[in-house]
Amino acid sequence: MKICRECFYDVFEEEVHSCIIDNQLFKPGERVAIGASGGKDSTVLAYVLSELNRRHNYGLDLFLLSIDEGITGYRDDSLETVKRNEAQYGLPLKVVSYKDLYGWTMDEIVKMIGLKNNCTFCGVFRRQALDRGAAMLKVDKLVTGHNADDIAETVLLNILRGDIARYNLYFLGTRIPLLPLLLHFDNCFCCETLTVPFTYAYFKRLDYFSTECIYSPNAYRGFAREFIKDLERIRPRAILDIIKSGESFRIATSTKMPEQGTCERCGYISSQKWCKACVLLHGLNRGLPKLGIGRSRGHDNDECKKEAKQTTEGKEIQGKPCGTLDF
CB of 71 closer than 8 Å to CB of 214: yes
Q: Which amino acid is at 252?
A: A
Rg (C-alpha) for the chain, rounded Å, is: 20
- φ and ψ of 167, to 5 deg: -65, -40
Q: Is residue 48 exposed (0-12), middle (13-18) or buried (19+ Cβ within 10 Å)?
A: buried
Which is it for strands 261-262 and 269-270: parallel, antiparallel or unpaired? antiparallel
Q: Which helix (H) or strand (E) holds 118?
A: helix 118-137
pLDDT score at 53 = 96
Question: What count of Cα atoms within 13 Å lies in the side-chain half-sphere of residue 326?
Answer: 11
pLDDT score at 133 = 94
CB of 249 closer than 8 Å to CB of 264: no
Cα 143 from Cα 277, distance rounded (Å): 22
CB of 305 closer than 8 Å to CB of 288: no
Q: What is the dihedral of CA 166, 169, 171, 173, to 10 degrees?
A: -140
Cα 3 from Cα 25, distance rounded (Å): 28
pLDDT score at 242 = 87
Longest dimension (CA), the chain: 69
Of 119, 128, 108, 106, the residue nearest 287 (C-alpha)? 108
Q: Which residues of the chain are under the pLDDT cut of 70?
A: 164-195, 250-253, 255-258, 294-327
Cα 239 from Cα 220, distance rounded (Å): 18
pLDDT score at 258 = 67
Q: Which amino acid is at 245?
A: S
